[in-house]
Every structure is written in C-alpha cells, then in structure tokens.
Structure 1
Amino acid sequence: MTMHDDQVDVTTEIVADLIREQFPEWSGEEIRLLPSTGTVNAIYRIGTGLSARFPLRLTDPTEALVTLEREARASAELARVSPFPVPEPVALGKPGAGYPMPWSIQTWLPGTIASDADPSGSTAFAEDLATFITALRDADTRGRRFTGEGRGGALPHHDAWMAECFEQSETLLDVPRLRRLWSRFRELPRTSPDVMNHCDLIPGNILVTEGRLTGILDTGGYAPADPALDLVSAWHLLQPLPRQALRHALSTDDLEWERGKAWAFQQSMGLVWYYADTNPPMSALGRRTLARILESTE
C-alpha cells in the first residue's frame, strides 16, 4: 500500500539501472532497499559507503532539482557545524530508467535509528541531543529568516491544517480534548528571533549506538526557524526524566518549552490519521507523542 496518492514507484532494478547509466564507477556495488518508516524518500544503500535518496511524491523535475540542490547546500552547511556525524552530499542523479525525477547520493552513516534503539530513558542521550541543538542555535543564520514553509513560524498559520487533522481523527483520538489543547497552543506568543534548526528531529532521523547519539540524518531541512522547533525532540524521543535533562541543558524557559510542545503536537496530529493504514509505525509515533504531551498537561 502506498503512502501518498501521487507516490512514484522505485525498485531495486530501477536504481541499479540509474547507477549503471549515470554513475558507472559504482555499478559493481551491491544495491539494496533500506527498511524505513520515512515518508518523503525511498532510501537505497550503494555498497558500504553511500546511500541514494529517491523522492516518493511526483513533482515537476525542474522544481524537484531546485529542492535537491537546496537540500544539498543545507546538508553541507549543517555538516560544518554539527558536533555529530551527518551524511554529506556526494552527487545528484537525473531522471531515467523509468524514474521521473532527479535524485541524490550521499555518504552512509553507521548506527541504529532511535525508532529501533529506543534511547528514550537515557539522560546521557538527552544531553547529547542538547549538545547538537546548542551547536545549531549557535550557528550563524547569515541574516536569513524563516521562509514561511512548513513548521517553525507562527503557530496560528497552521489552523486550517489542524482543523483537517481534527476532522480526520474523530474516530481515532479524543478530538474535543485535543481541540482545547490546540486552542491554547496557538495563542503562545513568539518572543525570540530565528535560529538555525534541523527542523525534523524525530526518531527516524537520529542514529544511536550503545545508548548515545552517534549521527543525525535527513539534514536537508536545516534552516532558520523558531528556536522552539527542535524541541519537538523532547516529546518524540524522550521520557520525562531525560526530557527534563534536555530542558535543563538548554536552559529553556516556560514559554519556549510550551512552544516546542506545540510544534510536536502539530506534527503528531498529522501523523496519526494520515499514516494510520499506510505507515503504522509513523502513525504510532504520533500517538505516543500526543500521549506524552497530554500526560504533561494533566
């Protein structure tokens, strides 16, 4: 079952043909699909040192190339400031072999994603996460500001999306309670200027080895946004005691903490219903995060 109505088919055979045609230096490497709960790209490993990312949703090839080029620049920029390993861009591929869009190749990082390793009870992991977020916050925005796309701007700008989420979730969640919570979250004022954020610190984008953070994935969204945005990690990744350790390490005040909770809430509401049938682990992530948020408000 596909996750999106406009999802593009990608197979190992298509990937092998694209590698052979466009990057013959890697044509002898083993190519295999990586199991993933990701919703944006299909990921294929090329040999032992590379991975290829194929956008899943059909987009105009010219627009898709602009996006991939922007993501490559963002990933390279984040790599220069990150205290933890991140994938680095290697090459961009062209449409071909039955695949209609450009695609990307980057370096491969070892480790287990946090969805599988579950470091949620580790204070040391929470402190690692704080180290990463601090490094990004300290990075130069170079005068850039939030672009207006996605999360990280004004909470009320997401009212229409939240209304759809509430409607779609009527049979899945305690919607009246969640509506009341959003009505409070959306009023939280913004008092701090934009800082650099990863913008999607969910378990599937965090690599863990022996309970410690050892790598960060999906870095193409690195951009200026609300300082509270990367605090979604507190709710997606951590149990209460490590969550408080993260907050302490970041010296987060009450307002910023609540805004981080609001961004995690906004993201999770969409995950539950949209992926209920097509990506159950992602839907379950949304449910778990909402449960943590609700528990913290009681």
Structure 2
Amino acid sequence: MSAPPPTLPLVDEALVRRLVAAQFPEWAGLPVERFPSGGTVNAMFRLGGELAVRLPLTEGGAGDVPLEREWLPRLAPLLPCAVPEVVGTGEPGEGYPWPWSVGRWLPGRNPEAGAVAQPRALAEDLAEFVRAMRAVGLPGAPVAHRGGPLSALDAETRKALAVLGRDPEEGVDADALTALWDEAQGLPTPSGPVWLHADLMPGNLLMDEGGRLSGVIDFGCLGAGDPACDLFPAWNLLPAEARPVFREALGVDEATWLRGRARTLSQAVIALPYYRRGRNDAMAANARHVIREVVGER
C-alpha cells in the first residue's frame, strides 16, 4: 500500500520566515508579505524589497520546481522580457514537504481581460514573446503540459460541457460549444512541436505602468508541443480588435488558429465548474470571459 500524501502545514508568513532562517540565514530578518494571487498551484511571498519566495501548494506543483531550475537560466537570455531568476534553491524543511525557490522580485501588475489599456501594443508584445519561445533551439525539451494532441483533451472537455449544460445559472450554450469542439477534432495536426510556455494566462503575465508586457512568470508547463498552445491570450486576454494583430505578427495559419481557440475553450470549460462559487473567483471569471469571446466569434 502506498504511503498517504504528506499533510501540508499552514503555508503562511511564519512558515516562510522559518524556512528562510533555516536555509538562507543571510536573508533572515527580511520582512515577509504574502502576495495576493489568483493562482492555485503556488503561494507567493515578497521577501524584503528585491526577492520573492514561491512555495508549491500541491505535489504536482512541486514537480515544476526542478523543471524551472533547469530551464529558466537557459531560456532567459533568449527571451525578450523578464522571466523569473532563481537565486535560492530551497529544500523540504520545517514540516514543509517539497522543494521551493527564492527568486528575484519582478515588478509589474497582471493584466485584466476587458481592461487592457493598449491592446494592440500588448498583442505585439505577446507575439514577440511567443515567436522567441518558438525560436528556441535548446535540445532535450520536455513535453509541454497540454502540448499533446487535441484528442487528449476530448473526454474531460465533453464531461465539463455536459456539467455546464445542466446548469441554467451559468447560461452556457453547451450545444454551440460542443459543436465548435466537434469541428476542431477534424483539424490538421501540427507539423512538429515547438518550444512553449504553455500557460499564458493573465495571471502569468506582467505589465509595466504603460501597459506593455514586462515579464512572464510560472514556466511550470514549459516544453515542446503544438504551437497552438501559446495562442491562449487571443481569447483569455486580448479584445477582438487586437486578435488579428497577434495572429498576423505570428503568421498563424487557419488550422493552428482554430486549434488554439479550441484549446483555450477546453481549458475554460474545464476550469469553470472547478473554480466557480468562491473556490477561485479570478479563474472562474476568466473562464467565463473566454467562453463569451469564443461564442462571440461563431
């Protein structure tokens, strides 16, 4: 019989202070403040003015820590904006069971769908980042999370659509979305994998005061896969008038664009039943936004 999963201690400022004091005494005594985030896989804390502590909240999230430690130093020089820089590799301790990281604090704020001040400029910035990821030639890329064939998402997507279709409170046109999903199953497959971030959600993007892309965080899904996976911002963030800018800058063909829309939809319809009703309001709101945008394009 397998051992039960570890009981996670309360992940709060006190735990971070104990971990830092035990493993990085040079930073002991710096103020610790939890950073509010809509993410569900990691807890973020600001450590002093220049550092950030990132602690996984799940075993799956813990698996992302060594992945980022290995690849981010190699990817950073190849990308056009700031990405996390790990400066401290924390290990299990103080009752906390997984590896964790200390990184440089990246300034900026997360964009919000429907409230983007410079949508066309942001679309160009996002396209520049995606182009740079696709151009990465580093060998030995891991398989990107969600980067496989569209068919791999089929069962879970249909299950979520069925759940939403039975919920009049959400008002989701499940029949229309199912028809769109059906159509996507016949799309041509990609010619080959490319390097991906694979989780370009608004919460993983940072903007400067002028509304331009200043950083991209959370590379836990990175790897090689279908280029359509990095088209998510077209529907989860950019307004309709900026989507052509993003698409043209990337030179995306019709099949890849439609696969991207289907993948973004799949993520949203799976997320909405899970996160709604107070479990994670930010994630649920973005899922509803994606569904509205996709329906509006039909």
Aligned to 1:160: 155
Compared with structure 1, are the counterparts of its residues 78 and 157 closer, same or farther at alpha carbon in structure 2 (3 Å cutoff)?
same
Summarize deviations over 1:104-140 as a string: whole Å, max 9, x none.
Answer: 1111110111138942752111111111111111111
Aligned to 1:107: 104
Compared with structure 1, are the counterparts of its residues 124 and 165 closer, same or farther at alpha carbon in structure 2 (3 Å cutoff)?
same
CA shift, 1:193, in A, is 1.0
Provide structure 2 residue ranges, at least 5 long, that are not aligned to the other structure: 1-6
Task: Answer yes or no: is the 8 Å Cα contact 1:199–1:222 preserved in 2.
Answer: yes
Distance 1:240 1:199 in 2: 21
Aligned to 2:36: 35
Task: Answer yes or no: is the 8 Å Cα contact 1:8–1:57 preserved in 2.
Answer: no
Aligned to 2:82: 85
Compared with structure 1, are the counterparts of its residues 230 and 158 closer, same or farther at alpha carbon in structure 2 (3 Å cutoff)?
same
CA shift, 1:100, in A, is 2.2
Task: Answer yes or no: is the 8 Å Cα contact 2:114–2:239 preserved in 1.
Answer: no
More moved, 259-268 vs 97-106 = 97-106
Query: Does residue 74 in structure 1 map to residue 71 in structure 2?
Result: yes
Distance 1:117 1:92 in 2: 37
* Counterpart AA for 1:94: E
Aligned to 2:240: 240
Matches within 5 A, 1:240-279: 240-277=240-277, 278-279=279-280
Count of residues paired in the alignment? 286
CA shift, 1:162, in A, is 1.2
Distance 1:90 1:116 in 2: 32
Task: Answer yes or no: is the 8 Å Cα contact 1:120–1:242 preserved in 2.
Answer: no
Aligned to 1:226: 226
Compared with structure 1, are the counterparts of its residues 117 and 200 closer, same or farther at alpha carbon in structure 2 (3 Å cutoff)?
same
Summarize deviations over 1:196-243 as a string: whole Å, max 9, x none.
Answer: 111111111111111111111112332111111101111111011111
More moved, 163-172 vs 256-265 = 163-172
CA shift, 1:141, in A, is 4.5
Task: Answer yes or no: is the 8 Å Cα contact 1:275–1:283 preserved in 2.
Answer: yes
CA shift, 1:8, in A, is 6.1
Summarize deviations over 1:19-51 as a string: whole Å, max 9, x none.
Answer: 111111111211010000011101111111111
* Counterpart AA for 2:38: T
* TM, length-normalised to structure 1: 0.89
Matches within 5 A, 1:39-188: 39-58=40-59, 64=62, 67-115=64-112, 118-119=115-116, 122-142=119-139, 144=141, 147=143, 150-169=145-164, 170-171=166-167, 172=170, 173-188=172-187
Task: Answer yes or no: is the 8 Å Cα contact 2:204–2:216 preserved in 1.
Answer: yes
Aligned to 1:294: 295
Aligned to 1:285: 286
* Counterpart AA for 2:160: C
Compared with structure 1, are the counterparts of its residues 116 and 176 closer, same or farther at alpha carbon in structure 2 (3 Å cutoff)?
closer
Aligned to 1:3: none
Distance 2:114 2:24 in 1: 34
CA shift, 1:261, in A, is 0.7
More moved, 9-18 vs 149-158 = 149-158
Aligned to 2:4: none
Task: Answer yes or no: is the 8 Å Cα contact 1:114–1:205 preserved in 2.
Answer: no
Q: State the secondary structure of the residue aligned to 2:214.
A: strand
Task: Answer yes or no: is the 8 Å Cα contact 1:78–1:219 preserved in 2.
Answer: no
> What RMSD, in angstroms, separates the aligned Cα atoms of the two structures?
2.1
Distance 2:292 2:184 in 1: 16
Distance 1:49 1:139 in 2: 29
* Counterpart AA for 2:206: L
Q: State the secondary structure of the residue aligned to 2:156.
A: helix
Provide structure 1 residue ranges, at least 5 long, that are not aligned to the other structure: 1-5
Distance 2:59 2:83 in 1: 27
Identity of aligned residues (%): 37
Q: State the secondary structure of the residue aligned to 1:187.
A: coil
